[in-house]
Amino acid sequence: MEQVDRKTINDEVVTIMSTTLILIRHGETIDNAARTPRGQGQGELTEMGWAQAHSVGERLSRMAFDHLYCSDLNRAVQTASAIAARTGHEPIRKACLRERDFGQFEGIPWAEIAVRFPAELAQYRSGNPDIAPPGGESSRRLQERSVQCLQTLSRQHAGQTIVVVTHGGVIHSLLREVLGIPLETPRRFSAANASTSTFRCRDGDWKLVDFNDTSHLASESPPAVWRFTSEGSAEHHS
């Protein structure tokens, strides 16, 4: 599944290999349903989460791709295993694909955090990308780690298509990087559980192909999907 582009540099035709990355957020977890940050703890998929994972696996079984990567956290591993059961790929676990470290907030419902850590929560919500939850990771550090990890995978698999099962924080970090959205800007977007978001990287230049595609999941209403043209304009599909 080679993806080859050619451009002329100093009158010489140079072959540039692009990499397609299909990023998938893990299926729904018990903590997602309970509005509890799990961060780098080991969460479990709910029955709904397993159904979502099998649905995205069914969709990917009809697509050609080269490698399957996943975060080494349990909820991502479970989602990747459901995909692998449909596609036959062996999941490759990577610690750098983990969710943000929420430190002392992990495993506590947000409503309880507001009571137990009011000052710390106010700082966390201040929009300062260098402030981290107590004992945790700042949004700037999360973005640096996530983008570096995905850049490395892109270089390693130039000309190929790879599937990456990861977490909302990682996907949102790459989206901000690619679209130039400052970390200080409040987040007005969200990758749903088991959604796919596709990016293409060529010679270090990133493009967003689509974001938050849930068309493979059962739903009472059509999914909202943003797809991006080669000219960079956005088209909304629902």
Catalytic residue, candidates 54, 89, 99, 120: 99
Q: With the CA atoms of 160, 165, 166 and 171 taken in that order, what torsion angle do they form, in degrees rounded to the nearest 10?
A: 50
> Which residues pair with residue 196 across a beta bridge?
24, 213
Catalytic residue, candidates 26, 54, 172, 216: 26
Helices (H), 88-231: 110-116, 118-124, 139-156, 168-179
Q: Work out whether the CA dihedral 168, 170, 174, 176 comes out positive or negative.
A: positive
Q: Work out whether the CA dihedral 162, 163, 166, 169 comes out positive or negative.
A: positive
- 3-class SS at 45? strand
What are the backbone angles phi and psi of residue 50, rounded to the nearest 5°? -65, -40
Is 67 tagged catalytic? no
Helices (H), the chain: 30-33, 47-60, 74-87, 110-116, 118-124, 139-156, 168-179
CB-based burial label for 68 (10 Å; 0-12, 13-18, 19+): buried
Is 26 tagged catalytic? yes
Q: How many CB atoms lie within 10 A of CB 67?
A: 16
Q: Work out whether the CA dihedral 92, 95, 96, 98 comes out positive or negative.
A: positive
- Which residues does the annotation mark as catalytic? 26, 99
